[in-house]
Amino acid sequence: MNNLSANTDLYDKEISSRLVDAAKSSLPIEITEHYHDLLCWIDSVLDSNLRFARPVSEFTMQRIHGYYPQGFLSASRAIICKQCPAVPLTQFGLRDDALPSPSDAAGFTLRDMYFVTHESVDDESTHFHELIHVVQWHILGDECFFHLYASGLLSAGYRLSPLEEIAYDLQSRFDSDDAEFDVIMEVRRRLANLRVQ
Ligand SMILES: [Zn+2]
């Protein structure tokens, strides 16, 4: 049982509008103009994998229920795959080495769905990390998530880009400490305090 809020309508207009404006102004126009191509790509990847998606609440996990509300885990879905999808980075104006190779990725999130490889499906820490991206995506929406993620890749590289930094930092707290915390509240707090360079 957990006492976390079951509300999955997490979109935060104030945080999202501030960050999308800041991220857009830091990005070259060649990237911002690919936003609609990205939406088409996401839709096609999700459409072709939808039949394999299972609610995260159906996976056997020991700890994750203490960090995310049950309603959020039922509404979020995971797809077990051999290899995570490859983002056509150059099509979106980014360098093709901006993200780790799909063959190295244990998980990959698109909106409220994430891919997890066969090797990592029993690794609760990987689910925990990808669910943070699901939370970020809910709070920010498509437009802000894309622009913020792209601006982070350009200014700081994959590992230190702000959305990954939040995910890796909270994941290491999950890995090293048993004290449960409200992930949604913590991600919202960090996004509210985020400054785009
Ligand atoms: Zn990540």
pTM for the model stands at 0.94
**Predicted local confidence at residue 17, as pLDDT:** 96
**Predicted local confidence at residue 96, as pLDDT:** 87
What integer is the mean pLDDT of 83-107? 90
**Predicted local confidence at residue 30, as pLDDT:** 86
| Percent of the chain whose predicted confidence (pLDDT) is above 70 | 96
Rounded-to-integer distance, Cα 56 and Cα 134, Å: 12
Ligand 1 centroid – CA 131 distance (Å): 9
Burial 141-159 (b: 16+ CB within 10 A, else e): bbbbbbbbbbbbbbeeeee
Ligand 1 centroid – CA 3 distance (Å): 26
pLDDT tens sequence across 135-152: 999 999 999 999 999 999
Closest CA to 137 of 191, 99, 67: 191
Query: Contact 134/69 with Cβ under 8 angstroms?
Result: no
Boundaries of domain holding 101: 13-192
Query: Contact 26/90 with Cβ under 8 angstroms?
Result: no
Ligand 1 centroid – CA 74 distance (Å): 21
Ligand 1 centroid – CA 7 distance (Å): 23
- Determine, yes or no, domain membership for 6: no
Q: Find the farthest-apart pair of alpha carbons in the chain and give their distance in angstroms, rounded.
A: 48
- Determine, yes or no, domain membership for 102: yes
- Determine, yes or no, domain membership for 197: no
What integer is the mean pLDDT of 5-25? 86
**Predicted local confidence at residue 103, as pLDDT:** 85
Kindly report the backbone phi and psi dihedral angles of residue 109, in degrees, each rounded to the nearest multiple of 5, phi listed first: -110, 140
Structural domain count of the chain: 1
